[in-house]
Amino acid sequence: MSHKIAPSILAADFGNLQRDCEMVNNSQADWFHLDVMDGVFVPNISFGMPIIKNINSYSSKTLDVHLMIVDPDRYIKTFSDIGANVLTVHYEACTHLHRTLHAIKEEGMKAGVALNPHTPVNLLSDVLNDLDLVCIMSVNPGFGGQSFIEKTYQKVEQLAKLREVSGANFLIEIDGGVNTGNARKLLDAGADVLVAGSFVFKSDNPTQTIANLKEV
């Protein structure tokens, strides 16, 4: 299976959001990656439902929504209603993760869980077969443009091994500091989806940068 590229819209130009969304539509990207931050779970606030609803009206591709918020259960139906296709919650924010994952699926979305850099992958052992996606944070969540954490390769390998042993079929997504310098090593470790924000949108030619990541 060819790997997927998910440009992170948090790094787009919000003064020209439709233009940047159309760039992603016309590129080799597979998904739109949308980071929702509440200023509580992470020390930053990003964008909420009205922006995602607008992006959905521009987008012709999968909307991959990553909730960096406390108590995500309150908003599951809302994100389904505004067009999310994949909804990822943080392990660290969910008291009843199994219930949350099934609530996401009941609303017709793919269910994902994200792990902060300090959270070991084996904590997901009991829900591996309930997952459609696991997002490994390769930076500390909350801000774009951070440096990649080298320990990520080992975590991806461990998670890929758990997937193999359990017979689960979730996708492994990497979020933070991804570029053409580390993409191949991440894919070789077992990654399926690469999220890239600043590396794409701050480049001279974002469309070509996406193509370069797709062709790694």
Among all residues, which ones are annotated catalytic? 35, 175
Give CA–CA dist 194/176, Å, rounded: 9
DSSP code, position 148:
P
149 — phi, psi (to 5°)? -90, 120
Distance (Å, whole) CA 16 – CA 24: 13
For residue 1, how many other CB atoms are within 10 A of its CB? 5
Neighbouring C-beta atoms of residue 142, cutoff 10 Å: 17
List C-alpha distances in Å: 32 to 29, 60, 64, 147, 185: 8, 9, 6, 21, 23
Find, among 155, 154, 95, 106, the residue nearest to 130 by Cα.
Answer: 106
Q: Which residue type sits at 163?
A: R
